[in-house]
Amino acid sequence: MRETIQILDCHSGQAVAAEIFDEITLEHFIETQAIWRPVVLDAVRALAKSPNQTTLIPRHFHWDWTRKEAELKMLALKFFGLSCDGRLQGIMKVDTVVRSCRLPEQQGKPLVYIDYIETAPWNIKQLMEPLGKRQQYRGVGSRLFEAAVLQSEEEDFKGRLGLHSLPGAETFYIKECGMTPVGRDPHKQNLLWCEFTPEQARRYLAGD
């Protein structure tokens, strides 16, 4: 799968063509470690100067690609990448088997579970500001999230989607995306489990 989509270029303010694809290779994982991580660490160090800011920092830069190589071959897992200007701008891993719905009205039904989603640090406003830089592209995470919903439709899960939200992203998933907060998961660092029903997914895709 490889689709041309649009994201927003912060410098020109224009929509630019990007590609979203599912042929992720080990090289993509290495790219996230070798090129993204030093930038993330610089930003983290800058953020860490303010003690209150550390609570906002995602721990996803601990993501270890060496253990992900085997996962590329697992049928239950699907990886998506988003590239623009010849560089990887975002990456996402979804699981279509292990998790199922927890909302009472759709309990036990299959869903697409977002296990990992990350945009390149230069596309994250909160990471670029402490470094005194402007973000490069906007909408990368939203496009990956949209791909997860569309994948749910392709799997015939009708848009049903689940994820464990970071505390700082709960408002985003609930208020902005329209997901239902189901409850805290004691088996997953007490993170909030959020879920899409088919109707909520439809509204997200349509922008209603």
Partner 1 sequence: MKFNTDRKWLERRAEQEDRHFISVGGLISTLDPTCQAEIVNMPTVETTKTAFVRLLQLTRRERRLSSEKLAEIADVDLAELLKIEMDETFTPGLRTVHQLAVALNLPVKKMMVLAGLLQIKDPHLQQASVRFAARSEPVGSVSPEEHAALEEYVKFLNER
Q: Which residues bind partner 1 (CB under 8 A)?
A: 1, 3, 5-8, 15, 20, 27, 30-31, 33-34, 37-38, 41, 44-45, 48, 54-60, 62, 66, 114-119, 124-126, 135, 138-143, 145-147, 150-151, 154, 163-169, 171-172, 176-177, 189, 191, 205-207
Burial class (CB in 10 A: 0-12, 13-18, 19+), 130: middle
Q: End-to-end distance of the chain based on CA atoms, in angstroms?
A: 27
Pick between residue 100 and residue 174 the one whose CB is nearest to partner 1.
174
Token pair of 111 as six digits: 């869903």
Strand partners, 94: 78, 114
CA distance linking residue 15 with residue 22, whole number of Å: 22
Q: What would the DSSP string read from start to end of 69-89?
A: TGGGG-TTEEEEEEEETTEEE
Position 125, amino acid:
K
Pick between residue 81 and residue 139 the one whose CB is nearest to partner 1.
139
CB of 75 to partner 1, least distance (A): 19
Pick between residue 6 and residue 107 the one whose CB is nearest to partner 1.
6
CB of 162 to partner 1, least distance (A): 10
56: left (phi over 0), alpha (psi -120 to 50) or beta: alpha
Pick between residue 67 and residue 105 the one whose CB is nearest to partner 1.
67
Pick between residue 96 and residue 151 the one whose CB is nearest to partner 1.
151
**Phi–psi pair at 134, nearest 5 degrees:** -90, 145
CB of 87 to partner 1, least distance (A): 13
Pick between residue 52 and residue 105 the one whose CB is nearest to partner 1.
52
CA distance linking residue 6 with residue 187, whole number of Å: 37
CB of 151 to partner 1, least distance (A): 7
CB of 110 to partner 1, least distance (A): 18
Query: Could you tell me the sign of the dihedral formed by the alpha carbons of 113, 110, 20, 205, in that order?
Result: negative
CB of 175 to partner 1, least distance (A): 9
Token pair of 45 as six digits: 């160090």
